[in-house]
Chain A
Amino acid sequence: MKKMLPHLKPYLLQILAVVVLVFVSVIADLSLPNFLSNIINYGVAEGNTGYILSTGGLMLFFALISIVATIISGFLSAKVSMGFGKKLRSVVFNQVEKFSLSEFDQFGTASLITRTTNDITQIQQFVMIFLRIILMAPIIAIGGILMAYRKSPQMSNIIFVSIPILIILIMIIAKLAMPLSKSMQKKLDRVNLVMREKLTGIRVIRAFNTEDHEKERFEQANRDLTTTAMKMQRTMALLMPALMVTLNLTTVALVWLGAVQVNIGSMMVGDIIALVQYVMQIMMSFTMMSMIFIMYPRAAASAERINQVTDTVPTIQNKANAICGTTLKGQVEFRNVTFTYPHAEQPALHDISFATHPGETTAIIGSTGSGKSTLINLIPRFYDVDSGSILVDGIDVREYDQQALRAKIGYVPQKATLFKGTIGGNIRYGKNDATDEEIEYASKIAQSNDFIMEKEHRYDSDISQGATNVSGGQKQRLSIARAIVRRPEIYIFDDSFSALDFKTDSQLRAALKNETKNAAVIIVAQRVSTIMDADQIIVLDSGEMVGIGTHHELLENCDVYKEIVSSQLSSEEMQ
């Protein structure tokens, strides 16, 4: 939580103003019982109606001061907390945009989303409630004690008995409730998990007749949750009655002691009334402070998760004098590349070497998990290699300015990601200043023009979030068009034809052929038919390169390749 403080620094003046304003309003509020006791002690006792009225007017004035101060401080608190939230969100988002895929793997996309959204909202709320409510508590406590002392120092001493009792009570109950609350959260998660599994596996459950077993599993989780929730609620329920008893018995003691004081003439009746009110307010303020015990752990946990993001130094950064332009075009070379994912035991790629040339197609094939996608993700420098080097146009990718390196590449990811917007906008994502003709041209090569023209608004048709309104094959073609419109030197297709039928697949590849005469084309594929006419095929198996060559060469000398081919083609087709 401490690390959040620097983000609050720009608001130092406003926060100070809030503190002052809260102080003013609290003191104004606290002065009311004092005036009240004066009215009783002097106005009533002496029958002075004029005094009563003028003091009443004074009270009204103080009440006005209090409301004005509170409204201004509410205004400032709102601005500070929301401004702070805005700034923090911006810092986190900017940081995440700098992350490489390696940091994304480390945190997980879902977790990064939560950290940018919920966690920050959580802290923003904490700041808000802190400024508006929790901050008031110590000020009321101190102000109240001061006022009470002015009335009667001897009697005020009673506070020093009651407050420790109050604090101890709050601590005991918090200590009992905290572990219960944690365990309740776990049991709630368990209920959710069982229910989730039940819903996702409903066919399997019904097919295997395990409904009774499932019922029992749920019942157990449910019972567990109920028992713990009950325990937790019953513990928390102790808090208010315990606090009230302490507070009220203090009042009783106060009145008794007051009676003694009044009897010996060292105090007046109005003073007792004022003191009772002060003591009540002091003790309520401690209850308010206990709120921080409930709010703080959550906010602190959120702060911790945010700090992890802001403290993470992106592994991939530009060098001081990074290279922006090259003379060579369309060449990629791997030299003894070994790469291990963070925290993995085995390298995902081991000692890979190959080179591509302009106008040539290089295909990569292998089982799931053999390292195909990993290999091509290294070219745009989404990850850095452990050893060896990757050269693009003769220069190590680590020497490049990242933007300049990626500007050379037309990358089509495995999962065709489109953004909310229009079809045309999504293709133009590849080249900001592309003309409508360029977009249509790219779209034709990607075999997407036909289905786009069938749409009512053609290139202006909407793409919803997650692109749920176009089919998988259409998504793939649009993301291919997005790459083509850049006219890149290097094309990377990560299993990008999988959702296309065989006919579209071959038409697309034929059309592409004309566009890539001076470019390097690297294709990852599952289907042998997609890649069998490539200039060179790289066969990966568990991160090792077990074969490189043309289709026919590999059929001769690579067992893994033969196995893959035979699993897809009949024997007569293999010839």
Chain B
Amino acid sequence: MSKTSGSMKGHMGPMGGPGAHGSFEKPKDMKGTFGRLLKFMKPYRKGLICVILLVLLSTVFNTLAPRVLGLATNQIDIGFRSENGVDFGAVMQILILLGCIYLLAATFNYLQQFIMSGVSQKTMYDIRTAVDQKIRRLPLNYFDTNTFGDVLSRVTNDVDTVSTSLQQSITQLVSSVITIVMILIMMFSISPLLSIIGLITLPFSLLVSIGVVKKSQGFFRGQQQSLGDLNGFVEEMYTGHNVIKAYGKEEDTIGRFEEINDRLYRNGWKAQFVSSIIMPAIGFLGNVGYILVTVVGAIMVISGRLLVGDIQSMIQYLRQFNQPINQTANIANILQSTAAAAERIFAFLDEKEEPADKANAIVPKDAKGEIEFSHVRFGYTPERVLIKDLSLKVEEGHKVAIVGPTGAGKTTLVNLLLRFYDINSGQITIDGVDIMDMKRTDLRSMIGMVLQDTWLFKGTIMENIRYGRLNATDEEVYQAAKSAHADKFIRSLPDGYQFVLNEDASNISQGQRQLLTIARAIISNPTILILDEATSSVDTRTEVRIQKAMNNLMKDRTSFIIAHRLSTIRDADTILVLNDGDIVETGTHQQLLALGGFYANLYNSQFAQNNQA
């Protein structure tokens, strides 16, 4: 709710002071960023123009009101001092005019906010969509090198920051400037001398604000720092709670907590106190102006150079003057964080994209699943070539296992085959067609995958299995689940196939999640199948059970199995042993064992232990 209350509080940051917005980030190119932001708003420029016109109107009416009110008072005062008494007709006329001004100002104000909320929300919709679409076009490399928390925060927090500020700051900025100008005009039209006297305190107000903000920023930084320390400490200690308990370190931990807590307190109250000075200080200077205007104004009235109502108008203008000045200072801060947020969004939108599919892409027909890598060269970065010169041929329907130590490039082969990454040189063909000549979607539709990371989404089991092929019938889903040995456990869940998986699918076991991903791969009915460490996160007994489902899946398909545990690949047609991006050995399990080389070593390190025991 906090952002909706902005119009009422204005000057209160989350910790109650200026510059309290936590980070003190500065945008690099404020002008350019706002220019781009405006481009995003271009489709809504008619609305935006309306908004600015309406802000103009409502501000003008708002600033006219005190003058008209003063006129009413003048009228009464004249009546009070004359023989004939108050001229009620004239007073009535002025008051009706005043009422109309108030009503119009409010109406314009509401209309402006109404239209602006449309403009800003639609712009935000467009930006979110742009970010979403961008994700689709980014190479996988981007996601492997950036944390998804970072991307997520751009879509949510940054877009949110920009949205809030669009809704309020732009109109506030316009209205503040107009208000200041209008008030100056009105005041000087009443009495230039009195205006100057009234505004004499203004420079002091500005100096005080700037001084206090500067002073408090240091404290706020200290507060933010110790708050960060505290949060980090709490997180670390709560995560390691079992260790703290096991080693009886509760007292010790509490002692360290109190230390940080005390530091937070000391920095915190200072920051709060110093920033709390601004309001009364500006209020005091405002009052001084008020008093000066009253006294000088009164003396001027005596000498007949001014009317009583004019003092009233002047005072109201002075009171109104403080607000836009406060606001402008605040808006400057908000605009900075907005620009910084928008900059992060735009930086994301500017990331280099995957090269587009070829225009005259070949559409593969009657895929058989014959795969050939010839002289493939690839590195994740240009400086470090991982795969130097790899060639291999996989027959239709064969089962190929890829083994090797961590970092040998096993998963890289899969990344290349699926064109998650593109090779530097050489060629990969499927049924004789270069995969670079295919559309990525056509290529990937031939291939099914089961990964170690059992990604499922919040939704029913039915939806999650059908994800493999979105137009699959219910019957096909049941069949796939049966082949995956998942049907039984699904039916034992409440609501069966309609059982809703929660976020991260934590309401079923790891083994069950794995079975669902296998069912999902089965339903996609691919020509080529890839199992990438598909069972490494389940225990071996469960693995044996899943293995049966896997065997069903691999029947009559060209399959690649990447495995850490060698027990699962003994019956592969070919085993490729990878080391440092090169194939060091090829053959069947028996052949490789007989060879007594790299594979035999690897195998024995996992199993020979037992013979010594």
Question: Is A520 engaged at the interface, CB distance under 8 Å to the other chain?
Answer: no
Cα–Cα distance between A252 and B102 once the two chains are bound (Å):
10
Contact B248 A407 (CB under 8 A): yes
Contact B247 A573 (CB under 8 A): no
Which residue of B86, B114, B268, B291 is within 8 Å of A234 (Cβ)? Answer: B114
Contact A244 B105 (CB under 8 A): yes
Expressed in whole angstroms, the minimum distance between the Cβ of A407 and any Cβ of chain B is: 6
Question: Is B395 engaged at the interface, CB distance under 8 Å to the other chain?
Answer: no
Contact B468 A208 (CB under 8 A): yes
Question: Is A162 engaged at the interface, CB distance under 8 Å to the other chain?
Answer: no
Contact B77 A97 (CB under 8 A): no
**Interface-forming stretch among B33-41, B376-384, B439-447, B552-560?**
B439-447
Contact A563 B151 (CB under 8 A): no
Considering only residues 510-563 of chain B, those with a C-beta below 8 Å from chain A are 510-511, 520, 524, 538-544
Considering only residues 440-482 of chain A, those with a C-beta below 8 Å from chain B are 465-466, 479, 482
The chain A residue with its CB closest to the CB of B127 is A222
Question: Is A154 engaged at the interface, CB distance under 8 Å to the other chain?
Answer: no
Contact A294 B1 (CB under 8 A): yes
Considering only residues 417-462 of chain B, those with a C-beta below 8 Å from chain A are 418, 420, 440-441, 444-445, 447-449, 451, 453, 455, 457-458
Residues of A within 8 A of B265 (CB): 82-83, 85-86
Cα–Cα distance between A81 and B98 once the two chains are bound (Å):
44
Considering only residues 105-139 of chain B, those with a C-beta below 8 Å from chain A are 105-107, 109-110, 113-114, 117-118, 120-122, 124-125, 128-129, 132-133, 135-136
Chain A 83-117 interface mask (CB, 8 Å, partner B; 1/0): 10110011001101111110010000100110011
Residues of A within 8 A of B510 (CB): 368
Question: Is B492 engaged at the interface, CB distance under 8 Å to the other chain?
Answer: no
Contact B291 A60 (CB under 8 A): yes
Question: Is A53 engaged at the interface, CB distance under 8 Å to the other chain?
Answer: yes
Cα–Cα distance between A262 and B77 once the two chains are bound (Å):
9
Residues of B within 8 A of A547 (CB): none
Expressed in whole angstroms, the minimum distance between the Cβ of A541 and any Cβ of chain B is: 9
Cα–Cα distance between A206 and B257 once the two chains are bound (Å):
46
Expressed in whole angstroms, the minimum distance between the Cβ of A317 and any Cβ of chain B is: 13
Chain B 1-40 interface mask (CB, 8 Å, partner A; 1/0): 1101101110010111000000000000000000000000
Contact B246 A262 (CB under 8 A): no
Contact B16 A263 (CB under 8 A): no
Expressed in whole angstroms, the minimum distance between the Cβ of A24 and any Cβ of chain B is: 12
**Interface-forming stretch among B182-190, B277-285, B339-347, B572-580?**
B277-285
Contact B230 A117 (CB under 8 A): yes
Contact B449 A109 (CB under 8 A): no
Residues of A within 8 A of B329 (CB): none
User: Beyond A66-B287, A255-B72, is A208–B117 a contact (Cβ under 8 Å)?
Assistant: no
Cα–Cα distance between A382 and B244 once the two chains are bound (Å):
11
From A89, A258, A269, A482, residue with most partner B Cβ within 10 Å: A269
Question: Is B50 engaged at the interface, CB distance under 8 Å to the other chain?
Answer: no
Question: Is A201 engaged at the interface, CB distance under 8 Å to the other chain?
Answer: yes
The chain A residue with its CB closest to the CB of B124 is A226
Cα–Cα distance between A141 and B520 once the two chains are bound (Å):
66
User: Beyond A222-B125, A255-B69, is A232–B294 a contact (Cβ under 8 Å)?
Assistant: no
B-side interface mostly: helix
Question: Is B236 engaged at the interface, CB distance under 8 Å to the other chain?
Answer: yes
The chain A residue with its CB closest to the CB of B443 is A209
Contact A219 B539 (CB under 8 A): no
Expressed in whole angstroms, the minimum distance between the Cβ of B91 and any Cβ of chain A is: 5
Contact A207 B4 (CB under 8 A): no
Contact A86 B261 (CB under 8 A): yes
Which residue of A52, A59, A429, A569 is within 8 Å of B610 (Cβ)? Answer: A569
Question: Is B295 engaged at the interface, CB distance under 8 Å to the other chain?
Answer: yes
Interface size on B, residues (CB 8 A): 154
Question: Is A506 engaged at the interface, CB distance under 8 Å to the other chain?
Answer: yes
Chain A 264-277 interface mask (CB, 8 Å, partner B; 1/0): 00001110110011
Expressed in whole angstroms, the minimum distance between the Cβ of A256 and any Cβ of chain B is: 6
Contact A240 B7 (CB under 8 A): yes
Contact A230 B543 (CB under 8 A): no
Question: Is B363 engaged at the interface, CB distance under 8 Å to the other chain?
Answer: no
Residues of A within 8 A of B152 (CB): 192, 195-196, 199
Expressed in whole angstroms, the minimum distance between the Cβ of A121 and any Cβ of chain B is: 7
Contact B15 A203 (CB under 8 A): no
User: Beyond A193-B503, A195-B156, A569-B607, is A258–B76 a contact (Cβ under 8 Å)?
Assistant: yes
Chain B 377-421 interface mask (CB, 8 Å, partner A; 1/0): 000000000000000000000000000000000000000001010
Cα–Cα distance between A230 and B120 once the two chains are bound (Å):
9
User: Beyond A417-B240, A532-B610, is A208–B444 a contact (Cβ under 8 Å)?
Assistant: yes
**Interface-forming stretch among B192-200, B296-304, B364-372, B477-485?**
B296-304
**Interface-forming stretch among A41-49, A323-331, A354-362, A511-519?**
A41-49
Residues of B within 8 A of A244 (CB): 102, 105-106, 109
The chain A residue with its CB closest to the CB of B612 is A506
Question: Is B204 engaged at the interface, CB distance under 8 Å to the other chain?
Answer: no
User: Beyond A233-B121, A533-B613, is A241–B235 a contact (Cβ under 8 Å)?
Assistant: no
Question: Is A385 engaged at the interface, CB distance under 8 Å to the other chain?
Answer: no
Question: Is B571 engaged at the interface, CB distance under 8 Å to the other chain?
Answer: no
Residues of A within 8 A of B299 (CB): 49, 52
Which residue of A97, A219, A407 is within 8 Å of B129 (Cβ)? Answer: A219
Question: Is B181 engaged at the interface, CB distance under 8 Å to the other chain?
Answer: no
Question: Is B52 engaged at the interface, CB distance under 8 Å to the other chain?
Answer: no
Cα–Cα distance between A263 and B79 once the two chains are bound (Å):
8
The chain B residue with its CB closest to the CB of A93 is B257
Residues of B within 8 A of A100 (CB): 245
Expressed in whole angstroms, the minimum distance between the Cβ of B589 and any Cβ of chain A is: 10
Contact B106 A252 (CB under 8 A): no
Cα–Cα distance between A230 and B420 once the two chains are bound (Å):
39
Expressed in whole angstroms, the minimum distance between the Cβ of B353 and any Cβ of chain A is: 14
The chain A residue with its CB closest to the CB of B523 is A208
Question: Is A549 engaged at the interface, CB distance under 8 Å to the other chain?
Answer: no
Cα–Cα distance between A466 and B238 once the two chains are bound (Å):
12
Which residue of A85, A94, A211 is within 8 Å of B254 (Cβ)? Answer: A94
Contact B77 A382 (CB under 8 A): no
Residues of B within 8 A of A59 (CB): 287, 290-291, 294
Question: Is A528 engaged at the interface, CB distance under 8 Å to the other chain?
Answer: yes
Question: Is A303 engaged at the interface, CB distance under 8 Å to the other chain?
Answer: no
Chain B 74-105 interface mask (CB, 8 Å, partner A; 1/0): 01110110000110100110010011001101
Which residue of A36, A198, A419, A567 is within 8 Å of B540 (Cβ)? Answer: A567
Expressed in whole angstroms, the minimum distance between the Cβ of B230 and any Cβ of chain A is: 7
Contact B269 A191 (CB under 8 A): no
Residues of B within 8 A of A218 (CB): 128-129, 132
Expressed in whole angstroms, the minimum distance between the Cβ of A247 and any Cβ of chain B is: 9
Residues of A within 8 A of B227 (CB): 121
Chain A 32-69 interface mask (CB, 8 Å, partner B; 1/0): 10011001100110010100110110011001101100
Contact A368 B511 (CB under 8 A): yes
The chain A residue with its CB closest to the CB of B99 is A252
Chain A 121-141 interface mask (CB, 8 Å, partner B; 1/0): 100010011001100000000
Cα–Cα distance between A380 and B246 once the two chains are bound (Å):
7
From B75, B76, B440, residue with most partner A Cβ within 10 Å: B76
Which residue of A64, A207, A466 is within 8 Å of B449 (Cβ)? Answer: A207
Contact A465 B232 (CB under 8 A): yes
Which residue of A77, A208, A215, A233 is within 8 Å of B272 (Cβ)? Answer: A77
Cα–Cα distance between A23 and B281 once the two chains are bound (Å):
18
Cα–Cα distance between A39 and B292 once the two chains are bound (Å):
12
Question: Is B569 engaged at the interface, CB distance under 8 Å to the other chain?
Answer: no
Question: Is B243 engaged at the interface, CB distance under 8 Å to the other chain?
Answer: yes
Contact A60 B288 (CB under 8 A): yes
Residues of A within 8 A of B102 (CB): 244-245, 248-249, 252
Q: Which 4 A-B pairs have the closest CB atoms?
A: A74-B276, A237-B113, A70-B280, A78-B272
Please list 13 pairs of residues, one from A and one from B, whose beta carbons are closer than 8 Å in the complex, sorted by A's number.
A39-B298, A40-B311, A44-B302, A47-B302, A75-B273, A196-B152, A199-B135, A213-B467, A229-B163, A240-B8, A290-B8, A403-B248, A528-B610
Given contacts A39-B295, A86-B264, A568-B540, 4 further A-B contacts (CB under 8 A): A40-B298, A81-B269, A82-B264, A85-B268
